[in-house]
Amino acid sequence: MRTFVPQLVQRGREPRWLAPLLVVVAVALVYVATAAPIRAAGANPAAAYERYVFTPLTSTSSLTEVLLAATPILFTGLAVAVAFRSGYYNIGAEGQFLAGAVGASFAGLYLPDLPGPLAVPVALLLGAAAGVAWALLPALLRVNFRIDEVVTTLLLNPVALLGVQGLLNGPWRNTGSGFPVTDDFGAGYEMPPAAPGARVHLGLVIAVVIAVVIWVVLARTATGLRVRAVGLSPAAAGFSGVGVNRVLFGSALVSGGIAGLGGASQVLGVGQQLTNEVSGGYGYTGIVVATLGALSAVGVVLVALLLGDITVGAQNASLVLQLPPQMGDIIAASLLLAVVSVLVLRRYKFRLRPGRFTGEQAS
C-alpha cells in the first residue's frame, strides 16, 4: 500500500491571499476551542458568539459603546505599533498612558477656569508631553547605553500606577468625598463629542487621524522607509547611512506621546476625573492590538474595533446569558495566540508526499 506523509515545506514567496485566509482559519480554531468552556458555563456557543460579535453592532447605542471601548486601545495599539515597527520594543504604553492621564488631570485640576476651546487642547498637549517624558528615560538608556528597553519600559509601568495611586491618596484625594479619586475637572475639560449629540468623543477622531498619519508616513515618506529599514535590519540600515539611534529614539518618543495622548483623551472623555481605574490594562491590550494588527495602521484600527466589539459583547453576554465577564478576555487572548501561531504557517507550503523508501519496505 502506498502511504502518504503530510509535510510542511518552506515557500519562497507567500501569495497575497494566504495571510487573510490563515486569519480566518485562526478565528475558526478559536471558535472550536472556546465552544467547550462556553457550553460548560451553560450557554450555547453559537448564541454566545452572536452576543459577542454581532449583537453590539445592531443598535446605535451599543455601537457607540463599541467605539468608546475601542478608543483607548486604538491609541495604545498605534503607540505600540509605531515603536515595534522600528524595532524598539516599547512594553511601557501602560505607564505612558497613565502618565498622559496624569498630565491632562494636572491641567484639569490646576487650571480649572480655562475656557473650553483652550482647555482640551492644553490638557491633551500636557498628556502627550507627559507620555513622552515617561518614555524618555528608557529611550535614553537604550540609545546611549544599549540597555534593553523591554525591561525598562515594562518596569516603569507599575511605577506609573503607584504614582497615580500616590497622587490619589495624597494631594489629589477628592476634597468632597475623601475617596481616592480627583475632584471633577473644570467645566471646559469635557471632550467634545465626535459628532453632535454622540457619546463617542473627539478622542476617537484624533486616534483615527493619527492612524492615517502613521500610515502615510510609513508608506510614503523617507522617514517611514528609514523606520521600516531600522526595524527590519538595524545593521543594514546603519550601513546605508540611516541614523539608527535617531530613528529608535524618535519612534520611542512618538510612541510614548501617542500613548500619553490616549491617557489624556480617556480621562477627558470619560468622567472628567482621574481614578485608579483610568487605564485598566489598555497599554498591555495595545500590544495585543498592535501584534494582531500586524503593526500596520489599518490592521490596528480593525483589531481595536474588533476587541471593542468583543468587550461590549462580553458585557452583554454576561447579562443575558449569565456567562462570566472574563469570557470576553479569554476569547481575545485565544484569538491572539491562534493568529500569531497560525501566521507562522505563512512561510510554509503544505503537501502530501509519498511514503519513504523504508516505510514502503515495511508495509
The verdict on 19 binding another protein (CB under 8 A) reads no
CA 160 to each of CA 69, 95, 167, 212, 290: distance values in angstroms, whole numbers, following the listed order: 22, 5, 11, 29, 22
Does residue 39 touch another protein according to CB under 8 A? Answer: no
Give the nearest distance from C-beta 87 to another protein in angstroms: 11
Of the candidate residues 8, 28, 232, 352, the single one contacting another protein (CB under 8 A): 232
Question: What's the 3-state SS for 273-310?
Answer: CCCHHHCCCHHHHHHHHHHHCCCCHHHHHHHHHHHHHH
Judged by CB under 8 A, which stretch of 87-95, 231-239, 282-290, 291-299 contacts another protein?
231-239
Q: Residue 38 burial by CB count (10 A; 0-12/13-18/19+): exposed, middle or buried?
A: buried
Which amino acid is present at 346?
A: R
Q: Please report whether residue 85 would count as binding another protein according to CB under 8 A.
A: no
Binding mask 316-355 for another protein (x = CB under 8 A): -------------------------------------xx-
**144 touches another protein by CB under 8 A:** no
In angstroms, what CA-CA distances link 339 with 167, 289, 307?
40, 12, 14
- Residues 238-267 binding another protein (CB under 8 A) are 238-243
Instruction: Examine residue 145 and tell whether it contacts another protein (CB under 8 A).
Output: no
Calculate the alpha carbon distances from 274 to 99, 108, 160, 161, 179 in Å.
Answer: 11, 10, 13, 12, 11
Residue closer to another protein, measured from CB, 235 or 344:
235
Q: What residues contact 12, with CB distance under 8 A and at least 6 apart? A: none
Whole-number minimum distance, CB 249 to another protein, in Å? 15
CB of 212 to another protein, least distance (A): 14
- Binding interface with another protein (CB under 8 A): 7, 12-13, 220-222, 225-226, 228-229, 232-233, 235-243, 353-354, 356-358
